[in-house]
């Protein structure tokens, strides 16, 4: 925001008095006040285009209807968005837009979340007067790895073109020809190739650009949606996870069908990258859902495993040998979970061998994707955990109890190498949301939750601490790591009073804020 | 091979560009200069123009496909543009277009195999007082009839 104080002015929309910033458009003022003016081409991320002409409104003193998206507010302005003339104009504009539209809603993937369809139901309901043949255009142009373009459904709002011009600067799409022949297309078969292409599907107000990953998988009205944080890089983009709750008598193959951006101007704006959008299979695929008991010591319930762990740890504790405990953490854990690891292992038990195993860094781009491939590397670095340099020999040397969170160590060392190093450790427990090569090397594998199934906070690369809560229930016997850690701490009973209020994530966060300076100074 | 401007055209292109605050604003005049030199704006010429204006070829293609005076394929030596708008049609342009189609044995939008003639139909040449009328390259011919068309075409080399 600019330092100069922007002038506030007063306008009236539909008789409602509003105070708005000078320079905003009528449409923006209306949207801010929760007054809906139909619009297709306007998108808050771009300068207004005024090509769909759906946002016509009546402004007192103006001879004609004006475009709300490009008409700036003036002090004392009186706007009407529901007058007879305005609704008539909307109907007329819809008739123009639909004259060349194929009306194939029953087989269109966008049906149900199509603005053109919605507006027709609100303001249209006319019989078609169009007797001529509709223009034939390309119905299935592959404009990108995951993108299909239907030129007949396109209403030429140019949101996609403007996105590629304003946001990515790659300009893969253009508007060719003229009049009724006008169409969006790529140039000489060069596809849309950038890490943000999936956003084109989101911003297309109609069914012109559809997503091959989502197309025909399910009808969008079956899907539920929940807010979450993308854990696939350090940016912490705010997302909506769209999942299928299932049908009563008919199983669906997976839960998550689609990931979309959730507006947050402190993090990701209106967008997410394709890496975060299309790599959601980790939520449903290869999940560790049951406890694996390789020792065959009847460690088949959470209760028994925790008792078993408690015995092992307690024994070392009383022998003053907690230096023989090693903990492998990961920045896929939430702030609260890392905090609990610090409290229990570093402070209560004086464990020295605490390591961090993170996924190997990946490519970054200059928009959102960071090289970190975990959601909480900043949080992990600010937690005051004294991480030792990752070394298999040091990790295994004289170690009797190994507690491993996540299986990212497989990215650093070959499984055979890890096996050789840790083979002699008496007790090896892995807490992992996924099935991995490490399963056979462990005594016990405990199924844990992915971010979408649990509660907590994550610190993004910029230091912003963002809360998340479960979108759906945990799979199988999966439990969140924070809960496992609290239960273990209670069983160890080294500081029972400290851990007993930790029945949810909130009290843990509050304690963390009090004890760790970094989180205390944050809002 | 990618085309290159002659020294003379290059000089003109650079001069035109210098008249505008932004390079890309010179797109249309540069396209005209380019078409005058190469007779067409195909993929290769698009790349050349894009390079000079520091824009992407797709932006050149957008303009090329929008404006009917820019041709993606080379036109014949003589480009005949017959008006088919209101005044000319009332004065019999339809018959004349059919006559030209038969005479040249091509459809509007096509070029004769010897690359001598291209035929187009256009909307209003702004010379209704001479209806029916046509343009051959940059010359106007009005008050047309079949005989006059025969004579005009015969006079062309």
Task: Say if B72 is an interface residue toward chain A (CB within 8 Å).
Answer: no
Nearest to A202 by CA among A103, A96, A115: A115
Task: Say if A174 is an interface residue toward chain B (CB within 8 Å).
Answer: yes
Task: Say if B71 is an interface residue toward chain A (CB within 8 Å).
Answer: no
Query: Would residue A76 count as lying in a domain?
Result: yes
Whether residues A195 and A224 fall in one domain: no
Whether residues B135 and B82 fall in one domain: yes
Whether residues A328 and A461 fall in one domain: yes
Query: Residue B57: its pLDDT value, please?
Result: 97
Min distance A110 CA to chain B CA atoms (Å): 28
CATH number, domain at A260? 2.20.25
Query: Residue A265: its pLDDT value, please?
Result: 96
| Contact list, A188 vs chain B (CB under 8 Å) | 43, 57
Query: Would residue A435 count as lying in a domain?
Result: yes
Task: Say if B56 is an interface residue toward chain A (CB within 8 Å).
Answer: yes
Give the whole-angstrom CA distance, residue A290 versus residue A476. 6
* Total of domains in chain B: 2
Whether residues B82 and B52 fall in one domain: no
Task: Say if B65 is an interface residue toward chain A (CB within 8 Å).
Answer: yes
Task: Say if A192 is an interface residue toward chain B (CB within 8 Å).
Answer: no
Task: Say if A296 is an interface residue toward chain B (CB within 8 Å).
Answer: no
Whether residues A468 and A328 fall in one domain: yes
pLDDT band for position B131 (cuts 50, 70, 90): very high
Min distance A65 CA to chain B CA atoms (Å): 29
Whether residues A203 and A319 fall in one domain: no
Query: Would residue B52 count as lying in a domain?
Result: yes
Whether residues A470 and A324 fall in one domain: yes
Domain end call among B66, B90, B110: B66
Q: Using 50 as the pLDDT threshold, list the residues of chain A that sit under it.
A: 1-2, 522-523
Query: Would residue B108 count as lying in a domain?
Result: yes
Whether residues B53 and B102 fall in one domain: no
Record: contact B62-A173, CB cut-off 8 A: no
Comparing CB atoms, the residue among A172, A176, A178 nearest residue B61 is: A176
Nearest to B69 by CA among B60, B52, B59, B81: B81
On the question of a cis peptide bond just before residue B92, with omega within 30 degrees of 0, the verdict is: no
| Contact list, B66 vs chain A (CB under 8 Å) | 176-178
Record: contact B62-A176, CB cut-off 8 A: yes
Whether residues A260 and A322 fall in one domain: no
Q: Which two tokens stand for residue B20?
A: 């505008």
ipTM for the complex shown:
0.87
Phi, psi angles (nearest 5°) of residue A358 = -110, 160
Comparing CB atoms, the residue among A174, A177, A188 nearest residue B59 is: A174
Query: Would residue B73 count as lying in a domain?
Result: no
Give the whole-angstrom CA distance, residue A136 versus residue A100. 9
Query: Residue A297: its pLDDT value, please?
Result: 83
Please tell me whether residue B26 adopts helix, strand or coil conformation: helix
Whether residues B17 and B38 fall in one domain: yes
Record: contact A174-B58, CB cut-off 8 A: yes
Residue of chain A nearest B59, judged by CA positions:
A174
On the question of a cis peptide bond just before residue B132, with omega within 30 degrees of 0, the verdict is: yes
**H-state helical runs in chain B:** 7-18, 27-38, 43-53, 57-66, 86-90, 93-104, 146-155
Largest CA distance in chain B: 51
- Residues with Cβ within 8 Å of B104's Cβ and at least 6 positions away in sequence, in order, are B112, B117, B119
User: Measured between alpha carbons, how far apart are the two ends of chain A, in Å?
Assistant: 19
Query: Residue B1: its pLDDT value, please?
Result: 63
CATH number, domain at A166? 3.30.70.20
- pLDDT, one tens digit per residue, over B9-30 is 999 999 999 999 999 999 999 9
Whether residues A395 and A514 fall in one domain: yes
| Contact list, A177 vs chain B (CB under 8 Å) | 65-66
Query: Would residue B60 count as lying in a domain?
Result: yes
Whether residues B55 and B107 fall in one domain: no
Query: Would residue B22 count as lying in a domain?
Result: yes
Whether residues A270 and A298 fall in one domain: no
Query: Residue A523: its pLDDT value, please?
Result: 47
Mean pLDDT of B91-98: 95
Distances (CA, A) of A350 to A323, A334, A353, A397, A429: 7, 22, 9, 17, 19
Domain end call among A238, A265, A283: A283
Record: contact B66-A188, CB cut-off 8 A: no
Whether residues A191 and A241 fall in one domain: no
Domain end call among A42, A69, A96: A96
Region for A204 from its dihedrals, namely left if φ exceeds 0, alpha if ψ lies in -120 to 50, beta otherwise? beta
Q: Across-strand partners of A279?
A: none
**Residue A335 in contact with residue A519, Cβ under 8 Å?**
yes
Whether residues B53 and B121 fall in one domain: no
Which residue is listed with tokens 């209106």? A270
Whether residues B47 and B103 fall in one domain: no
DSSP B73: S
Task: Say if A283 is an interface residue toward chain B (CB within 8 Å).
Answer: no
Nearest to A459 by CA among A370, A331, A368: A331
For residues A97-112, b (16+ Cβ closer than 10 Å) or e, as one string?
Answer: bbebbbeebeebbbee
Strands A147-149 and A209-211: antiparallel
Query: Would residue A108 count as lying in a domain?
Result: no
Query: Would residue A459 count as lying in a domain?
Result: yes
Query: Would residue B124 count as lying in a domain?
Result: yes
**Which strand (E) or helix (H) includes residue A116?**
helix A115-119
CATH number, domain at A83? 3.10.20.740
Whether residues B97 and B33 fall in one domain: no
Query: Would residue B143 count as lying in a domain?
Result: yes
Whether residues A389 and A494 fall in one domain: yes
Task: Say if B105 is an interface residue toward chain A (CB within 8 Å).
Answer: no
Query: Would residue A275 count as lying in a domain?
Result: yes
Q: Across-strand partners of A175?
A: A184
Whether residues B44 and B83 fall in one domain: no
Q: Across-strand partners of A80?
A: A58
Q: Across-strand partners of A259?
A: A241
| Contact list, A171 vs chain B (CB under 8 Å) | 56, 58-59
* Domain carrying residue A186: 132-211
Whether residues B16 and B52 fall in one domain: yes
Domain end call among A253, A283, A313: A283
Domain end call among B43, B66, B89: B66
* Domain carrying residue B13: 7-66
Min distance A151 CA to chain B CA atoms (Å): 16
Q: Which two tokens stand for residue A108?
A: 């269109």
CATH number, domain at B61? 1.10.10
* Total of domains in chain A: 4
Domain end call among B15, B38, B66: B66
Whether residues A249 and A190 fall in one domain: no
DSSP string spanning A434-447?
B--GGGGG-SEEEE
CATH number, domain at B91? 3.40.30.10
- pLDDT, one tens digit per residue, over A398-423 is 999 999 999 999 999 999 999 999 99
Q: Where are the beta strands (DSSP E) in B20-90?
A: 78-83
């Amino acid at each position: 925001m600019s330092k100069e104080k922007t002038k506030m002015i007063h306008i009236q929309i539909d008789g409602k008095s509003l105070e708005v910033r000078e320079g905003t458009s009528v449409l923006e003022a209306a949207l801010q006040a929760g007054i809906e003016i139909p619009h297709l081409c306007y998108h808050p991320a771009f300068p207004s285009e005024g090509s769909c002409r759906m946002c016509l409104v009546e402004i007192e003193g103006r001879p004609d209807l004006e475009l709300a998206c490009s008409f700036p507010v003036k002090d004392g302005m009186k706007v009407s968005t529901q007058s007879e003339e305005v609704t008539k104009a909307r109907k007329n504009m819809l008739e123009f837009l639909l004259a060349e539209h194929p009306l194939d809603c029953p087989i269109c993937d966008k049906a149900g979340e199509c603005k053109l369809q919605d507006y027709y139901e609100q303001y249209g309901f006319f019989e078609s007067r169009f007797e001529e043949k509709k223009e034939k255009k390309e119905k299935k142009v592959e404009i990108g790895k995951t993108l299909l373009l239907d030129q007949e459904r396109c209403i030429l709002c140019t949101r996609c073109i403007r996105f590629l011009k304003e946001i990515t600067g790659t300009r893969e799409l253009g508007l060719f020809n003229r009049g009724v022949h006008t169409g969006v297309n790529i140039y000489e078969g060069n596809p849309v190739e950038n890490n943000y292409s999936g956003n084109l599907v989101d911003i297309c107000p109609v069914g012109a650009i559809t997503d091959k990953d989502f197309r025909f998988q399910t009808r969008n009205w079956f899907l539920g949606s929940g807010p979450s944080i993308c854990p696939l890089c350090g940016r912490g983009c705010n997302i909506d996870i769209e999942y299928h709750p299932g049908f009563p008598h008919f199983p669906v193959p997976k839960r998550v069908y689609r990931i979309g951006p959730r507006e947050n101007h402190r993090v990701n704006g209106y967008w997410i990258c394709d890496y975060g959008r299309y790599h959601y299979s980790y939520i449903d695929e290869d999940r560790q859902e049951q406890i694996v008991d390789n020792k065959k010591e009847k460690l088949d319930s959470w209760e028994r495993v925790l008792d078993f762990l408690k015995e092992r740890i307690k024994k070392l504790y009383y022998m003053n040998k907690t230096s023989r405990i090693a903990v492998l953490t990961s920045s896929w854990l939430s702030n609260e979970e890392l905090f609990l690891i610090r409290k229990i292992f570093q402070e209560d038990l004086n464990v020295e061998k605490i390591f961090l195993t993170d996924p190997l860094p990946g490519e970054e781009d200059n928009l959102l994707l960071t090289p970190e491939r975990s959601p909480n590397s900043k949080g992990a670095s600010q937690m005051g955990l004294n991480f030792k340099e990752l070394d298999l020999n040091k990790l295994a040397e004289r170690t009797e109890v190994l507690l491993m969170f996540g299986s990212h160590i497989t990215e650093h060392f070959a499984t055979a190498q890890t096996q050789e190093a840790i083979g002699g450790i008496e007790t090896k427990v892995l807490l992992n949301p996924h099935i991995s090569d490490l399963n056979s090397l462990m005594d016990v594998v405990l199924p844990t939750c992915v971010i979408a199934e649990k509660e907590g906070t994550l610190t993004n690369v910029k230091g912003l601490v963002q809360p998340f809560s479960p979108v759906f229930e945990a799979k199988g016997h999966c439990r969140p790591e924070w809960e496992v850690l609290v239960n273990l701490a209670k069983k160890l009973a080294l500081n029972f009073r400290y851990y007993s209020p930790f029945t949810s994530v909130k009290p843990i966060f509050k304690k963390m804020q009090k004890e760790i300076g970094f989180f205390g100074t944050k809002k | 091979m990618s085309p290159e401007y002659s020294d003379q055209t290059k000089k003109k292109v650079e001069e035109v560009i210098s008249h505008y605050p932004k390079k890309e604003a010179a797109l249309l005049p540069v396209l005209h200069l380019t078409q005058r030199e190469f007779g067409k704006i195909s993929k290769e010429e698009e790349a050349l123009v894009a390079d000079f204006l520091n824009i992407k070829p797709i932006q050149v293609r957008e303009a090329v496909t929008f404006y009917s005076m820019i041709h993606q394929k080379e036109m014949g030596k003589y480009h005949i543009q017959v008006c088919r708008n209101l005044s000319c049609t009332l004065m019999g342009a339809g018959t004349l277009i059919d006559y030209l189609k038969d005479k040249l044995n091509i459809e509007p939008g096509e070029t004769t195999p010897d690359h001598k003639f291209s035929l187009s139909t256009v909307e209003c040449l702004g010379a209704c007082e001479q209806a029916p009328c046509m343009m051959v390259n940059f010359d106007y011919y009005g008050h047309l009839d079949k005989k006059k068309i025969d004579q005009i075409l015969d006079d062309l080399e």
